[in-house]
Amino acid sequence: MREIVLDTETTGFDAEKDDRIVEIGAIELLNHLPTGRTFHEYIDPERSMPKEAFDVHGLGDDFLRGKPKFAQIAEKFIDFIGQDSRLVIHNASFDMKFLNAELRRAGHTALPFSRALDTVGLAREKFPGSPASLDALCRRFGIDNSNRTLHGALLDSELLAEVYLELIGGRQPDLVLDRPAQAPEPGQISDGRMDARQPRPVPLPSRLTQAETAAHAEFVARLGDAAIWTRFQ
């Protein structure tokens, strides 16, 4: 299963008016594990950067001037996220509104909200009443976020990927021990996995002493014929 962990940074909070995306960061997960493929772009918002947004993101007009406009990176972004990969986003409604506003301006089809998995909702469901911010979840799971002095889309995506894996059950949620489709000979390795269900060549000896065996038999005898131990002898 392919998933994209994604974050955006913006000039403000109103996607339908004049606020725009200034940065997109995303990383690819395959079966819940990072593949190393990333997407990262700074974007010219075609408007000035408000001071309050600069204070949060550290991205000013001089830095963003000359960066590509969203329409210029839209195709590359669409290719990276694919047609049906799940989009893992913290506070998904915010990012999805901005992404769809930008996609529509650039003449592309909007993304269905059903593709997004909101990790805020996932965290609140798992830890009701507890803080669900990215920083709070990093602290809960012992994830180092000391480099997050400013909000940055790619760094936040990397942190969110770690948080997401913890929220769904740890770093190896898809560990399976199923027999391969074509079972190997006993002791052989197939696809990097040992077939652990082969019988032992020599059964392990019992660690019960004779006295323990006798005491158990006496105890069962006192229970009578209804004892569960006597039903399967």
Q: Which residues are catalytic?
A: 151
H helices of the chain, in order, are: 51-57, 61-64, 70-81, 92-105, 119-126, 134-141, 153-167, 210-223, 228-231
Place of tokens 């529509």: 104
Spatial CA neighbour of 80 closest among 6, 15, 165: 6
What is the C-alpha to C-alpha distance for residues 73 and 124, in angstroms, rounded to an integer?
34
129: its two tokens: 């009443």
In eight-state DSSP terms, residue 206 is: P
Q: Are 161 and 67 in contact (CB under 8 A)?
A: no
Contact 29, 67 (CB under 8 A): no
Amino acid making up residue 154? L
